[in-house]
Amino acid sequence: MHALLVIDVQQDFCPGGSLAVAGGDEIVEGINALMSDFEAVILTQDWHPAGHSSFASSHEGCKPYEMIEMPYGSQVLWPDHCIQGSTGAQFHGNLILDRADLIIRKGYNPAIDSYSAFFENDHKTPTGLEGYLRTRSIDRLTLVGLATDFCVNFSAVDAAKLGFDVEVRLDLCRAIDLNGSLDAALTAMKAAGVRALSE
């Protein structure tokens, strides 16, 4: 079975949001149109408690986009975003939700961030998505969403490492591109065996 994995198409990652990705809203119509082509549709949702450890505001003297070392490794400090129950955490208003078989929330552990749909940023604490896919005999994944160089990248690489057949529709993703992060992500996905498609 072939599933569409829609990564974090949420208000805070779209223009006007607290961590806006340029053109983040431009992909919504295309994603909606794609949903009927798949046997399953899964949405992910960043879902942080207030005061999350990945927020710059949680670290005195730190600014957004600075890097710090956490117990699990290097961590970008972000503006406060996708706080549980907030408007910014909601999916983009035009995204079709009715087609979703599953909505998986991530980043709710206050002590650790979670870019990937499969693992928290320690790369070992699972979200449960792998088990869901296995029990439904889903072995192919197409990823779309936000942002190409962070949550899409980490999700795609983890999926490939777990043995799934993975492709990313770059035309239906948008990137933050923080200090060369987009080129690094494209290189990492290619090295993991992920196919990056423009359409």
Tokens of 114: 């979670």
Among residues 25, 46, 149, 151, which one is catalytic?
151
Is 165 among the residues known to form the active site?
no
- 3-class secondary structure, 106: strand
d(CA 36, CA 15): 26
Among residues 80, 106, 158, 173, which one is catalytic?
106
Among residues 8, 12, 80, 113, which one is catalytic?
8
Burial class (CB in 10 A: 0-12, 13-18, 19+), 16: exposed
Tokens of 41: 């549709």
Q: Which amino acid is at 39?
A: E
Contact 45, 91 (CB under 8 A): yes
Strand partners, 10: 91
Candidates 90, 93, 120, 114; CA nearest to 103 is 90
Is 63 among the residues known to form the active site?
no
Prior bond to 147 cis, omega within 30? Answer: yes
Active-site positions? 8, 106, 151
